[in-house]
């Protein structure tokens, strides 16, 4: 919404939410999330044509176009628990829109939703036989955290799904015109609503599948002394494969990949497509295995015990340039180490507040230390779990001198200079590479 406000001064954009604290943060100098470039964007438009408010009913009444961006987490109860999307917030919002509208409106699904949700929404919105008509569009979001502003400013595509009726196409065009203020027309794609809804889940499933594919082969590389970066480079130069999303890692995290794939799996099962469901489910299973494998690798290389040993975790966010820790591999790995009775120092430049919440039930065994030098002091091993730039250029000689020997470093993101670290005296274990050890 900040990008729309910035690019379209002729529109008045109001963001409403029930969470008063969140709204007041959006109105303050300290925005509630860290995202490069977002502060400048919000500050430029706020008070001009971008407003944050808790007056939801008024916001609904005044709007011609409503983007519904409520969360659709994985259901934790009842039918489909652990798999399906929980649509209660979506439905409540639809009913609230219905109760507060006295003229026609376009409703845009921005939340990630199961295919055919728009139909249900349309039934709720247009079921009361009143004179107010709602046109429901699907306009999934493809931005990635950490590069959100860049992605929005220059998207690969904008996807807008609508009914293929006269009214549906008219609404589709109206939304296309909003984006056309800064996005080239040929990048604004129209489709039917179901294709649009399904494309969102499919895009994330394909991206996650690439990460799981390369991670699966990282294990084979470790066993055979092939090097996963060389393999990724070699296959990525094939223009049909492409070189993006081929970085082997400790596993993918984030609030979307796992949730969206499980949702896709659930939908496939509900149509009796069990082979399709199993195929996509394996992407998530492989990711869980990769996280587990990382802990087991640490354990076996550290003489089969980490009990009582101090381990420094460098990076807790699910990726660099964000403070977000949702589904971060670091959560699972830290817990795995704690189960083995290790003492863990967690360090991260932006994610420590979230890390404290994620680990609050085991907080007596974890210390949260932002300074990487202090976090690694006296430790037996370092695990690099987020690819923050600052970890690439630390003074590793100084760090090694402060550690217990033999000192281990497990690079879960392949961002360090492994040969140099080995020459300094570290035993180095990277993803998808032969270990470099002094014993």
* Catalytic positions, written as ranges: 256
Nearer to ligand UGA, 256 or 277 (CB): 256
Nearer to ligand UGA, 161 or 427 (CB): 161
314 sits in which H/E element: strand 310-314
**Least distance to ligand UGA, CB of residue 256, Å:** 3
**Least distance to ligand UGA, CB of residue 227, Å:** 16
Contact 1, 67 (CB under 8 A): yes
**Least distance to ligand UGA, CB of residue 432, Å:** 12
For 224, phi and psi rounded to 5 degrees? Answer: -115, -5
> Which residues are paired to 159 by β-bridges?
189
Rounded CA-CA distance 315/438 in Å is: 26
**Least distance to ligand UGA, CB of residue 97, Å:** 23
Nearer to ligand UGA, 85 or 207 (CB): 207
Contact 393, 405 (CB under 8 A): no
Nearer to ligand UGA, 229 or 281 (CB): 229
Rounded CA-CA distance 133/165 in Å is: 14
Residue 309 CB-half CA count within 13 A: 23
Contacts 24+ apart (CB under 8 A), 53-60: 53/14, 53/15, 53/16, 53/23, 54/16, 54/17, 54/18, 54/19, 54/20, 54/23, 55/16, 56/16, 56/17, 56/18, 56/96, 57/96, 57/100, 59/14, 59/16, 60/16, 60/96, 60/97, 60/100, 60/101
Between the CA of residue 428 and those of 19, 47, 298, 391, 411, what are the distances in Å?
46, 52, 11, 15, 8
Nearer to ligand UGA, 199 or 204 (CB): 204
Residues that bind ligand UGA (CB under 6 A): 112, 141-145, 204, 207, 211, 245-247, 249, 252-254, 256-257, 318-319
**Least distance to ligand UGA, CB of residue 291, Å:** 11
Three-state SS at 211: helix
Nearer to ligand UGA, 101 or 212 (CB): 212
Q: Give me the helices (H) in 251-273, please.
A: 257-270
Rounded CA-CA distance 88/73 in Å is: 10
**Least distance to ligand UGA, CB of residue 320, Å:** 8
């Amino acid at each position: 919404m900040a990008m729309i406000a910035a690019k379209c001064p002729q529109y008045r954009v109001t963001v409403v939410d029930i969470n008063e604290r969140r709204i007041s943060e959006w109105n303050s100098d300290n925005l509630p999330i860290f995202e490069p470039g977002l502060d400048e964007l919000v500050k430029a438009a706020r008070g001009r044509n971008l407003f944050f408010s808790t007056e939801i009913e008024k916001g609904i009444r005044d709007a011609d176009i409503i983007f519904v961006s409520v969360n659709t987490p994985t259901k934790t109860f009842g039918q489909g628990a652990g798999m399906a999307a929980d649509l209660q917030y979506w439905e409540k919002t639809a009913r609230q829109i219905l109760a507060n509208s006295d003229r026609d409106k376009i409703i845009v699904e921005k939340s990630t939703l199961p295919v055919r949700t728009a139909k249900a929404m349309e039934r709720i919105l247009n079921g009361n036989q009143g004179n107010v008509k709602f046109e429901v569009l699907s306009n999934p979001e493809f931005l990635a955290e950490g590069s959100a502003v860049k992605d929005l400013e220059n998207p690969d595509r904008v996807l807008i799904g609508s009914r293929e009726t006269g009214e549906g196409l008219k609404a589709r065009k109206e939304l296309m015109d909003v984006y056309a203020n800064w996005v080239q027309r040929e990048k604004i794609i129209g489709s039917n609503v179901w294709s649009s809804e399904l494309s969102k889940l499919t895009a994330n499933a394909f991206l996650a599948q690439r990460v799981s594919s390369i991670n699966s082969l990282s294990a084979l590389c470790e066993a055979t002394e092939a090097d996963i970066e060389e393999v990724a480079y070699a296959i990525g130069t094939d223009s049909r494969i492409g070189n993006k999303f081929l970085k082997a890692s400790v596993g993918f995290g984030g609030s979307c990949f796992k949730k969206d794939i499980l949702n896709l799996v659930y939908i496939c099962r509900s149509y009796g497509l069990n082979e399709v469901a199993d195929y996509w489910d394996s992407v998530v299973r492989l990711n869980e295995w990769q996280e587990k494998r990382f802990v087991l690798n640490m354990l076996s290389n550290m003489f089969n015990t980490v009990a009582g040993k101090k381990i420094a975790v460098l990076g807790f966010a699910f990726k660099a340039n964000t403070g977000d820790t949702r589904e971060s591999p670091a959560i699972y790995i830290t817990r795995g180490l704690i189960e083995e009775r290790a003492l863990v120092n967690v360090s991260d430049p932006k994610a420590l507040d979230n890390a404290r919440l994620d680990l609050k039930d085991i907080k007596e065994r974890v210390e949260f230390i932002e300074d990487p030098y202090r976090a690694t002091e006296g430790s037996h091993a370092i695990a690099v779990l987020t690819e923050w730039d600052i970890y690439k250029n630390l003074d590793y000689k100084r760090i090694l001198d402060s550690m217990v020997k033999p000192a281990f470093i497990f690079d879960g993101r392949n961002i360090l200079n492994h040969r140099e670290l080995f020459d300094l005296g570290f035993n180095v274990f990277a993803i998808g590479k032969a270990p470099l050890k002094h014993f």
